[in-house]
Every structure is written in structure tokens, then in C-alpha cells.
Structure 1
């Protein structure tokens, strides 16, 4: 079997994704492109990303429409067909076409829960506990810091004792990845500040930092990873503070905690590979960067492999809301991984047999071991 054949036939473990959500027919006809860009773009611009154009290609295959992306009439016809699909059947078919065996799904976005997600995919779905959503719900329910902290730890522990396989944080988008050390007195004062003007969204740096450090401790106790969004993503993220090198102090403070840097930290892929190669407890997920980078996908994989051990690289789709993202991610990732490994063999860096082992590790085996699936 060739490297490419191995890659094409290996069942995927998607270590980072979100459930698919119901979309109205109007959403599909008028706003569909917005699910294929992470920027706060005008719709006329969102339609002209390569990622969206590739999504139209997926729709053309699904609905057997003859025309080329870039044609407005072609797009309207595709969206008319997409607007009336049965969400459950369509999602199941899309994900089945990717040969994905397991999906780790964030319980914090969208409103569809991982449990509901199981109803429209044949893949096994395991939930990830989003820390900011948890903390916000507990701030609503607890007026005193001590009660809040106890409930936070109890909820994380009970989740990891149950079906949850990891914790997850979007602190990068709330205050950046430069998570600092906060003592309990500072955290108590920060909690009081938050409660006094509580608006439902946790952004206070000191309280966020304290939550993250407590989460790292709980994750270590249960030998569970904690995922950190890094690089591009939500439009409220500051482009400089999502560089994973900002996370080093937190990583060093918790050497027993497995840290997963998400999104390939795009565009900081080289920095993410460096951090992954430096710290034994750090792993690198390449979701969202692939497929959003589209024709840059091979560069993302190749850059990650410059330094990072291939035993610490993870496949992920970061598919969210629409199932086409799962399809795009699987296609682009498989192709980029195959091209990168074929190039390494041609250059005499690795053997073909070793490259096949790398492929299986990145696509599934690394995640199976890390998350104890």
C-alpha cells in the first residue's frame, strides 16, 4: 500500500470539533458563506474566500450540479438545494464520507449539545468541557468566591469522571494566552469585581487566569488533556496575543498537564511547532488552519513537522455548525499530509514505511492514546 493509499483509508479520530446546528432556509440562502470564514467580513467578501468556493464544490458534488464555482447562478442553485436538506440525514452522509470514527465535540458552541449531535452522525461522539461556559454558569449561581471555586472544581471533576475526555479553554480570545499566576486572594477580589457588574460574559484577566490554573490542576489529577484555542478564530481575538509562545509560563507551571494547542496556532504554526518540540506535555492540533487555509494546507503540515515530533501532532476538523466543514477538513488534511510525507520520502528524510506509520499516528493513533479513548 502506498503512503497516499494508507492516508486515504485510515479512519479519522477528530480531536477537536463542534456539533452541527439547525439552519433556517433563509440562513442558507443569504448567509451561508459566513460559516466558511472566521473573520468579521462583509458577506460580499466572505463569498470570495477559497474555503467557501471549495464548499460550493462539495455542494456541486452532493447535488450533481454542472457549473463552476464563481458563477452566481451556479451558487444560487446550490444554495436552493442546500436550504431544503434533511439536517440529520445530510449531516450523517457528509460525515460518513470522511471516514471519521470518533469526534471530540465542544459542549460550549453552538447550542446543539454533543448528546444531540450523536443523533445525526454514526461516529462516536465524546464531549469536551468548555471552561468559560462553565465558569459563567457558576457565576450566575454563586455569590461567594469559595462556593464558586468549589463548584468549579466539582463540575470539572465529575465531567472527567464521566464521559468527558478533556477540558477546553478559549482564554486566548478573552484575554490572550499570556496566562499569569494569580493567588487566591487576587482571584477572590477579581470575583467580587466580576459579580458587581456581571453581564454574563467572563473577561476579567485575573479570574480567568485563576480558573485556567485550577483547570490544569484538575486535568492533571485525571490524566486528561486541556485544549487551548490558539491562533486565529473568533473575531474578538487579538492577533498578537494568540501566539502560543505566550502560553509558556502556564505550560511550565503545570508539567504534569497535557496541553493541546489548537488550530495549528495559525498563522503562528512555526511557533506552535517550536513549543510542541520543546515541552514534553504539549501537543499540536492542526484543525481550522486546515481547511481554512485551503491551498496553504500542505505548508501548515510541513511547517508543523519541521520541529514537532510526529507523535504529538493531531488531526482535527474544528467542524462547526455545517457538515461541509467536516468534509473540507478531511479532504484537505489527507491530501496535505500525503504530499508532505511523499516529499519527505523523495528527499530521503524518511522511509516509506516510516511515513505510513506517521500518517496513522497523526490521523488517529496519537489521539487514541492522548485522550485514552
Structure 2
């Protein structure tokens, strides 16, 4: 497998200057007719009125002016007046071009649209024309409350205040409506989070006790209502009332989490830097510590770098899992040295996974452009310095860059966007602004062409919706989109298909296959003429949405939805000739699931696994190889209807033996190995396993998705060749007493230097939940026992230790032992990948779980604790399912709603199986797996 070279400073520079941004805190652009009402110099200062005049002599202004000259294509010697004249010309002749330049490199915006009245600014979704993905709303709770109160008090006069019940009735109406609005907004997919500006109003020293705040709000609420009625001013700035609003919002957010330990939508809080409305002493985020502790399932986002209290904010985000630091607004409001100092303070102890980029862009498009440019400049200087001092490596700097620009916000706000980017293909010519002759343009963020996908597979559409909205100009000449959109991808690689058919002209049919949630293979048999039409026209096969929510026997589950279509798209990378004993001259191919527009959907097992593979490669520089062991028990059918329906193929049998009885089976076993080899699936060896009639075929390591595809296709061959010999090949983990059948997977990391973070810090940490995928039936847990070489019952790892579920074979290579043939291998490996990525994000270097060189079951309690062994694996599928339901981090790392749907379907399946007699259940499972 070709690996990219180790990243260098040049790769870091490429990533910093070009990686797409999720701007986690911004505001709307002002209406074009009002753009002249906002002084341009305000882009670098919070000063207002006469105080703003002095901004011209500040370092932030002088630096921004130099950069704006380049933006507007002014000569270096142009003064401020000339710069404004050039800007005015841009606004008259082509404002769309200016906007396109200013939003270049921005993937998505999260917009607080409560800064100004809707009549003054453009709606939040207007900005979608300049971004790769749709904008989302951040709802300001004070604005929500004020507009709600204005509606409630519409038509109320001073005379109404004399009614004894007026204030009580108004309070009840307001609180009910406020809660109803918040509940609806929490459910609204357009709303990414909420925000409070209580820092501006009454300070961050919020009363932490909700009941106490509710008791204190009475009289201040009445005074507020009187002012609203008398003066028609609805701004909320009475501390008890402001405190109550924030606490009520936190209560509602906290109550609406879907399950224990889940996180609500985030709450952003203005902290630190602000205009003269703010009480600087009360803008210190340290005041928020009691609130952060009281509402542990609400993420708190501390905005604007908390400047000048960055260190306090850094401390909070380090010690509380639900606190995050936004590093916006200081770009471009602070000088370059100040920005570097602020970022240094943020990085002193705060994890890179808790920092979020924002522009705080508002009103003028230039605010977005300056913040984007200046952040990248300062960040590159810092990362380069840390690398040169050998504090970090280029790879770590690249990973941190991607986190702060994109990944952290993507995960925190549950956006499910994808950044498609190649760290190693550096464009020879970047997209830059056109400059006047003799004027050197500054480096600009660029969007590079789509990179090749890992494993040299064709790049699929992303799961996130695309914002390919046609761009138009409101005046002036029609301009091409900027940056130019990628070309429409070709659905199928027809050259690859043509090559396959030239090598296999005898193929007359194609098995188009996919694996459902219950690990059942589904298939459509398509004549080659129809398959050829699909390839040439880019068509797909439509199936009912409901087919993805049924059991192995098509029994219904709560997930089944008979409304809608899924479109099955063959992945030509998995296309291969079937074995020669197949009754049809045919080929077989695995498939993706897409929607009607061709986008991959969250239900698709292969697509979700591939996204995790991409995440590992592009964000962590890690590629994976995987080799599977196919353990299988061969059974003869017993025609005696009164007795046991199966007989074991061999009885004089042990691990690695070849008795005369076994020797007679060599031609049959070799037929399987030869058939696989002819299909291009390499078998490295095969041998007898410990159980009677049990054999193992060891497949060669391959890139991960290819390895799983090959495993599934190989298992079909094993079962089909066995059927030709009137045998049943089963993967059942316990087909007979004394026979335990596993499905071990060997996974190798390249480079191997972070395998402990991946496997110990990630996989082992989430192993009880992962078992719900790797051992997905109740009988799966009958195979696993101590002192039996089945991986044991303790959550532990060890080098060359087969009594632990996670065996380290050598540096970078690990064996997953708590895995059997009932598993949907796409799901099982996806869970391992997701957990491993969580471990990489934590980036620990020391772990409580030590390399155990003993059988954990033979250690006493003190010995196990010395090795960090404190938990047991689930003893039943019910326990594993509960562990998965409780593992919010692992659920969040997988596709949206996937864990919920999977557990709902498994619940239906387990109920169906429980109603069968033990004997009937065993036969039912043997015949299907």
C-alpha cells in the first residue's frame, strides 16, 4: 500500500492556508442599502463615537489597512480616503465579487441572527451562496425573550397595570411561551445552538441556583413590564430577570437530552472583549464555574477568546468536559503580537480539541476576510515555532489545525459536514485575488480540488448536504462562481468496468449485493446487459426504504419505514469474478446506499465505515491494513428427522492436526482455497481449529474497506462450496458444546507510533459498548470464558496474550478477539475505528491499563488493579446493548441516529429469538450464519 510521506512544514503551511473553516460564531451581513452606515474602521475596534477616531493610530487598524489595500487592489501608498473610494467602486460595480472573495475558504457559518432587527440585516440562509455547506442559526435567548414580550404586551396600556392579576398572568404567559419556543428551537435542525449576551447586560456572575433565581425574579420582572408598557423599550437588563432567563434556558436544554450522559445543543456566552456596554470585571469567565459544574450535559462555549481573561478560560475548558473556548474576535481586533500572545495563553493548558475558530464577522464582509486571513497567519507562525522547538511534530500541528478550524465545531454542533482535503497534493497555483500590476497579493485561503480517496477508490459524495446554490450578481457583469465548484463527479469508473469485462468476457450476470443491519446479505441478480446500462448511464437500483429496517426473515421492526426509496450503487472497487463452481457465469459486487440525488445516506454501513477511514487518513495521517481469520464449522445434515439435524464433519480432530479422517477432507478444503485465489482473494494458510469439524482460513491483509468486502465475499464462497458437498458451513459461535467459533481481526496502523492511543486509549476504553456490534447475539457470550483462549472476560490488553480481548501482536498490529461471525463486520470495524479516533483525540501518553503478561483471571484483585484491570466485558448481549446506549461519546462518533436504530432493531430481533425454543433457535441461526 502506497503511503504518503511524513508531513513537513510545507504540508503544514498548505493545510493552515487552505483547510476549510467552520466559523462557529458570526453574524449577518447588513442590508446593501445600509452598508454606508457602518464605518469601515469599526472592523478593528469595539470603540464607538468619538473614541473610534483614535483607532486609526492603533496597530490592529494599521495592519488591517495594509491588508485591505490588497483586498481592494489599491497601491501600497493609498491613504485611507483613497482606500474607501476604491471600496466604494467595488460596491457599485460588483458587490458580489467582494463577497465571494471575503468568504473564500469558509465551509459553513453558524450565525447569531439576534444582533440586529431582521429589517437591518440579510437573513442567515442568504450567506449559503458563498459557503460549501448551509449556514445554521445560533439563537440569542435575550432577543427571543424580548421579541416574545413585545408580542405579549402588544396593545397593553398603562391602565392594564392596575389589574391585580396582570403581572401574574403576564408572567405565566411569558414563561409558558418562552419554554414552548425554546423546545421547538431545540428540535429545529436549522438551529445549531443558543447564545446569551448576559455579559453585556448584567455580567457573568449569574446566580447558580435555579430555585433561588426564580424566587428573586418577581419584583424585577414587574418593574421590567412597567417600563415596557410605559416606554415601549423591551431590552432586558435587570439582573434577577437576566439570570432567570439564562438558568431557565439551561434547565430546558438539560432536560431535553435524549439519554443519560448525552449533550444538549451548546450555549454560547459572550465573555471578555466587548464595547463600552460591558462591565469588564464581570466579563471574566471564571464567574461561570458554578454554572458549568451544575449543568454538565450542556456544552458552554466561551466566546471571543475571553480576552483579556484567556488564561481563566483555558483553565475552565481544561478541567470541564463541557467547556469550550472560541478564539474569535481578537482577529482582527488585536495586534499581531497580541493575537500570538492570546493564542499562546489559550494553548498553555487547553487541549486542542476544545478550541474553536470564529470570525465574529458582522455587517461588513471584510470582517470575515480579515479574521480568516489573520488567524491563519498567526496560527502558522505559532505552529512553526513549536515544531522548530521540537514541542510538536508537523503531523500533530496539522491535526490540531484541522481540529480548531473544522473538526471541533463539526463535532460539538453535530453538523456532520465533511472536509475533503489532501494534505500532500499542494497546488502549484493557489486561488488568489487579482492584484493590480506591481502589487503583490497576500496569500488567501483556497479550496483545493477533491483529493483521491484512501485506497485509491473513487471519492463518494459526502453525507452532509451540499450548498451548491447558483451564484448570481445583483448588479454589474455576470461573474463565474468563486471559487469554482468541483466538476460533477462521474458515478462509475467505466474504464475500470471495461477493463474487467475485457478480462472476463464470459460474465453474463452480476450479483449486486449489500449487507443489512442484521448481517444478512441481500442481492439482486442483474443480467450483464442491464448492468452495462447502469454503468453507462450512471443509474442505480431502487429498493424500498423499509428494506433496511427488517429482520433476517423480513419481520418488521420500529425502524422499518415503507415510505421512500434507497438507491443501491455498485462499488466497482469490489467487483470480482465469482468462483468457477457458481452455476451462473457471473461476477459479484458490493454496494453503497444513496438517496435520490446520489448522496450517501446515514443508513449505509459501507459509507459510514469509509468516512471513518477517511477521517483517520486525512486528519491523523494513519492508514490501516486488516487481515481476517475465517473460522468455520462444517456440518453434515442428518436426515433422521427425530434426532440432531447436524453431524460434525470430522471427529478425530484437534488444533493443527491432520488425522486420516481430516486428510480425506483436504481436497474439499483446497477447493475452497483455490476458488478464493481464482477470485483474487488470497488465502495465506488454512488449518484445523480446536473444535470438531472446525477449520480456519487466514486471509491476507488488505486496506480496510477492501478487507471487509473480501471477507464477506470469501465467506460466501466457503458456504457455497460446502453446499455443493451437501455440507453446512456455519459461523455460529457455539454450534455444539465444546466448539467456540470466533472471527478474529488483525488491524495494523501505519505509521504504528500511535497504536496505544488508538487501541488502549480508544478501543479498550469503549470495548463494552463495542461488544454490542462485535458479539451481537445472546449466544455470542456463551463462547467467551476465562481460561479457554477465547479472549477472557476482563477489559484488558496484552502483548501476545490470548486471554485478553485485545492482543498486541507487535508494534502497530493488534488482534480483536471479542468478535464472532454473527457480526455485521462493517458495523463492528466502524465501532473500532470510531473508538480509536476518540482515543487519538484524547492524545494520552499514559494509560491506567497496562500491558498484562498474565491471564487476568489468574490474578488476584490487587494484581488486576496494578495492571489497570477494573472492568469486565458484558456477560450478555443485554449488558452490551446497555453499555452502548450509555456510551454517548461512541454514539456521537458514529452516524447520526445509527446507534438508536441499531438497538431498536436488535430489541425486536432478541424478542423474536426469545420466543423460539432453544433447539429451534440454534437451528435457525446456524442456517443463516
CA distance in 2 between partners of 1:41 and 1:153 (Å): 38
Which residue does 1:258 correspond to in 2? Answer: 299
After alignment, is 32-41 or 226-235 more displaced? 32-41
1:105 is the counterpart of 2:114 = no
Which residue does 1:204 correspond to in 2? Answer: 238
After alignment, is 162-171 or 2-11 more displaced? 2-11
After alignment, is 231-240 or 35-44 more displaced? 35-44
Which residue does 1:344 correspond to in 2? Answer: 386
Which residue does 2:141 correspond to in 1? Answer: 131
Which residue does 1:60 correspond to in 2? Answer: 69
CA distance in 1 between partners of 2:224 and 2:53 (Å): 39
CA distance in 1 between partners of 2:88 and 2:173 (Å): 51
1:231 is the counterpart of 2:258 = no
- Residues 159-198 of structure 1 mapped to structure 2, 5 A cutoff: 159-162=185-188, 163-180=190-207, 181=209, 182-198=212-228
CA distance in 1 between partners of 2:69 and 2:17 (Å): 22
TM-score by length of 1: 0.92
**Per-residue CA distance 1:103-146 (angstroms, 9 max, x = gap):** 00001023325435336533421110001101111222336112
- Residues 305-316 of structure 1 mapped to structure 2, 5 A cutoff: 305-316=347-358
- Residues 353-364 of structure 1 mapped to structure 2, 5 A cutoff: 353-364=395-406
CA distance in 2 between partners of 1:187 and 1:11 (Å): 45
CA distance in 1 between partners of 2:86 and 2:59 (Å): 17
Which residue does 2:339 correspond to in 1? Answer: 297
Which residue does 1:269 correspond to in 2? Answer: 310
Which residue does 1:118 correspond to in 2? Answer: 127
Which residue does 1:145 correspond to in 2? Answer: 171
1:5 is the counterpart of 2:14 = yes
Q: Note closer, same or farther for the CA distance 1:4–1:342 as it changes in structure 2 (3 Å cut).
A: same
After alignment, is 262-271 or 245-254 more displaced? 245-254
Which residue does 2:41 correspond to in 1? Answer: 33
- 2:282 is paired with a residue of what secondary structure? coil
Q: Note closer, same or farther for the CA distance 1:119–1:351 as it changes in structure 2 (3 Å cut).
A: closer
Q: Note closer, same or farther for the CA distance 1:76–1:102 as it changes in structure 2 (3 Å cut).
A: closer
Equivalences, count:
369
CA distance in 2 between partners of 1:284 and 1:85 (Å): 40
- Of 264, 272, 279 in structure 1, the residue corresponding to residue 320 of structure 2 is 279
CA distance in 2 between partners of 1:261 and 1:80 (Å): 36
1:325 is the counterpart of 2:367 = yes
- 2:108 is paired with a residue of what secondary structure? strand
**Per-residue CA distance 1:336-367 (angstroms, 9 max, x = gap):** 22222222222222222112111111110000
Which residue does 1:372 correspond to in 2? Answer: 414
- 1:227 is paired with a residue of what secondary structure? strand
CA distance in 1 between partners of 2:130 and 2:84 (Å): 27
- Indicate the RMSD between aligned Cα atoms, in angstroms: 2.2
1:215 is the counterpart of 2:249 = yes
**Per-residue CA distance 1:190-240 (angstroms, 9 max, x = gap):** 322211222211001011111101111233324200000000123200111
After alignment, is 308-317 or 178-187 more displaced? 178-187
After alignment, is 50-59 or 295-304 more displaced? 50-59
Q: Note closer, same or farther for the CA distance 1:257–1:85 as it changes in structure 2 (3 Å cut).
A: farther
- CA drift at 1:83: 5.0
- CA drift at 1:289: 1.4
CA distance in 1 between partners of 2:301 and 2:81 (Å): 43
Q: Structure 1 residue runs of 4+, over 6 Å off? A: none
Which residue does 2:27 correspond to in 1? Answer: 18
After alignment, is 316-325 or 177-186 more displaced? 177-186
Which residue does 2:99 correspond to in 1? Answer: 91
After alignment, is 49-58 or 193-202 more displaced? 49-58
The answer to whether the Cα contact below 8 Å between 2:43 and 2:366 also exists between their aligned partners in 1 is: no
The answer to whether the Cα contact below 8 Å between 1:166 and 1:219 also exists between their aligned partners in 2 is: no
In structure 1, list runs of 5 or more residues that go unmatched. none
- 1:84 is paired with a residue of what secondary structure? helix
The answer to whether the Cα contact below 8 Å between 2:148 and 2:174 also exists between their aligned partners in 1 is: yes
- CA drift at 1:89: 4.1
CA distance in 2 between partners of 1:167 and 1:25 (Å): 27
TM-score by length of 2: 0.38
- 2:143 is paired with a residue of what secondary structure? helix
CA distance in 1 between partners of 2:282 and 2:411 (Å): 30
CA distance in 1 between partners of 2:226 and 2:242 (Å): 16
CA distance in 2 between partners of 1:369 and 1:76 (Å): 40
CA distance in 2 between partners of 1:82 and 1:237 (Å): 35
The answer to whether the Cα contact below 8 Å between 1:157 and 1:218 also exists between their aligned partners in 2 is: yes
CA distance in 2 between partners of 1:342 and 1:108 (Å): 38
Q: Note closer, same or farther for the CA distance 1:228–1:73 as it changes in structure 2 (3 Å cut).
A: closer
Q: Note closer, same or farther for the CA distance 1:310–1:146 as it changes in structure 2 (3 Å cut).
A: same
The structure number with the bigger radius of gyration is 2
Larger relative contact order (CA 8 Å, sep ≥ 6): 1
- CA drift at 1:23: 5.2
Q: Note closer, same or farther for the CA distance 1:188–1:89 as it changes in structure 2 (3 Å cut).
A: farther
CA distance in 2 between partners of 1:72 and 1:159 (Å): 44
- CA drift at 1:298: 1.6
The answer to whether the Cα contact below 8 Å between 1:114 and 1:127 also exists between their aligned partners in 2 is: no
- 1:203 is paired with a residue of what secondary structure? coil
Q: Which has the higher helix share?
A: 1
CA distance in 1 between partners of 2:204 and 2:343 (Å): 23
